[in-house]
Amino acid sequence: MSVDLTGMPANAPSGGDLPLPSIRLRRLRGSERIRRLVRETRIDPAMLVAPLFVCAGSGVREPIGSMPGVARLSPDLAAIEAETLAALGVGGLLLFGLPRGKDPMGSEASADDGVVQDAFSRIRSLQLPIVTIADTCLCEYTDHGHCGPLTRSGEVDNDAALERLAATAVSQARAGADIVAPSAMMDGQVAAIRAALDGAGFQGTPIMAYAAKHASAFYGPFREAAGSAPALGDRRAYQMDPTNGREAMREMALDVAEGADLLLVKPGLPGLDLIAAARQRFDLPIAAYQVSGEHAMIAAAAERGWIDRRNATLEAVGAMVRAGAGIVVTYAAGDIARWLADERS
């Protein structure tokens, strides 16, 4: 008997009893055991990266109001958190710094005794099975909140920023960062950082480029967490228009040509199409960032009982992996690792 794609027999009667399907997709959905066996997209803790906000001091843990479950940590507590995440099997850490002081050049970003450098040094001494990644940017360190020095007219000086970003990357690698991740969206930043790392003897340090970073409305909680809101203007003159997809692919291609080893799309859920396109076009590892606003929206809705936080978080991260991300940066990395362990037990 021939069967069409609906599973209905080709010679099924047109009247009387309704024909019954022979192909039943629900057969593979009938139990959790079967659903788990045939699951197409799987999340593993080793593919997750947990962002940490590192502040000055000792024994400091400051909860961040707009990001439930996330806190600013002093370097000593950041190292303890790294131990906890490594024990859970989380693959990486992404460190952001809140410096002791700020100036127009963001000088402390490249200081060998800076808060992030201190944290990297402490974490490296623990010899943990976890990858340490440095956010290489200046916005947390400048007194004006922009990602590079300003010209007299108040615009970000792209080429002056390259020098500062390169010096920062070298300092971070010297302190123990396994990977540097330039996020300033300055033209030529990957090439400048690659040349500086190679010249300083860090030829083996990979660069994860924030290649498609949009000027997103979903970054608000991060700016509270990192104290990095611009004092004047905004970042739309260097971060991408969120509606531009072809330009995002051009940004990625340029970063690959300049020597990027990994590509990151930010924010994650609004950029699912870009993740998929990048996976199809480039052979590099592709990362996605579930940014602060995405985290905060899920947490806030869950607190009100509107959604289930665990399932919503796993669904969102799973969508990024399904689109093609092999790495996901998420503030829920530790929680996800615990949830996955619960499922296995």
Give the residue-averaged pLDDT of 316-332.
98
Helices 115-126 and 75-87 meet at what angle, rounded to 10?
40
What is the distance between the alpha carbons of residues 72 and 302, in angstroms, rounded to a whole number? Answer: 22
pLDDT band at 333 (very low <50, low <70, confident <90, very high): very high
Q: Is 233 left (phi over 0), alpha (psi -120 to 50) or beta?
A: left
Q: At 97, which helix (H) or strand (E)?
A: strand 92-98
In the chain, what's the furthest Cα-to-Cα distance? Answer: 83
Q: Helices (H) and strands (E) in the chain — how many of each?
A: 11, 10
Confidence (pLDDT) at 1: 46
List, in order, residues 6 or more apart from 20 with CB less than 8 Å away: none
Which residues on adjacent β-strands are paired with residue 286? Answer: 263
Q: Where do the domains of the chain lie, and which CATH numbers do they carry?
A: 42-344 (3.20.20.70)
Give the residue-averaged pLDDT of 92-108.
95
CB atoms within 10 A of CB 201: 11
Of 103-117, 175-189, 221-235, 311-325, which gets the smallest average pLDDT?
221-235
Give the residue-averaged pLDDT of 271-290.
98
Distances (CA, A) of 318 to 42, 298, 312, 336: 7, 15, 10, 11
Q: 263-275 pLDDT, tens per residue?
A: 999 999 999 999 9
Q: What is the mean pLDDT of the chain?
A: 93
Which residues are known catalytic residues? 213, 266
Distances (CA, A) of 45 to 19, 26, 85, 146, 330: 46, 29, 9, 33, 11
Q: Which is nearest to 326 in space by CA: 273, 290, 270, 285?
A: 285
CB atoms within 10 A of CB 243: 7
Q: 23-65 pLDDT, tens per residue?
A: 999 999 999 999 999 999 999 999 999 999 999 999 999 999 9
Q: 173-210 pLDDT, tens per residue?
A: 999 999 999 999 999 999 999 999 999 999 999 999 99
What is the distance between the alpha carbons of residues 269 and 265, in angstroms, rounded to a whole number? Answer: 10
